[in-house]
Structure 1
């Protein structure tokens, strides 16, 4: 089992958890938010925040040996039901080629408008060392 604490280009976890864990042929990510360098550094528009969150996921998946195109399950947490349509538009741009299974819920989050976690297959199908 491999644990990824902080992928290059992402902020460190704000609690006692790993950004991702590789187990067998799967990568399990922790929830990612639209922050860049710090919690205060987030894009201005919701659509840009969705893109930043996926960029953070991409960095973590790449560090773990996977990619966005190998995602099999997504959990998305939005803070306002009105966000669903713009979220779907960006989601479709990024994962629309072969959309994974997905759960989307509306919740209250701390200082961010969305959070996304996922499960992805390893690209090389070999367990990470």
Structure 2
């Protein structure tokens, strides 16, 4: 059985998806873009600004599920431009604590957004170094 998670502090779009789905011990968070949840406007023009907003949006969804970014085991990031990868890595490293989740970064055409991030979290326990 799966449970839909709705986060009032994350952007609300009139699109057919849940903010997240809990399936067993895992939470699958839908892709979030760098949009301010109050205005639905893109947060800044740089990859750093939009990455920070993406991660805040993901964090709001994790919080609504009763967990934190420390429970994230996999991150998928979709960037509009390959040249933004180094700056994305720097912004990500400032916000996400080590040990870092497994991660995939793909350059893809995602319209006017510079980045979209989705994550998978393991609910019972946070990440730790082995």
Q: Same fold (TM over 0.5)?
A: yes
TM-score (norm 1): 0.87
List 4+ stretches of structure 1 deviating above 3 A.
Answer: none
Q: CA deviation at 1:72?
A: 0.2
- 1:108 alignment partner in structure 2: 109
1:24 aligns with 2:24: yes
2:34 corresponding residue in structure 1? 34
CA contact (8 A) 1:76 1:103 kept: yes
Q: Where does the alignment leave 5 or more consecutive residues of structure 2 unmatched?
A: none
1:34 Cα shift? Answer: 0.4
Using structure 2 for the length normalisation, give the TM-score: 0.87
Aligned-pair Cα RMSD in Å: 1.8
Instruction: Give the Cα–Cα distance (whole angstroms) in 1 for the partners of residues 80 and 125 of structure 2.
Output: 36
Task: Specify the SS of the correspondent of 1:93.
Answer: helix
Aligned residues between the structures? 124
- Asked if the contact 1:66/1:121 (under 8 Å) is kept, the reply is no
Distance in 1 (CA, whole Å) between partners of 2:124 and 2:45 is 33
Cα separation, 2, equivalents of 1:123 and 1:61 = 13
What's the counterpart of residue 71 of structure 2? 70
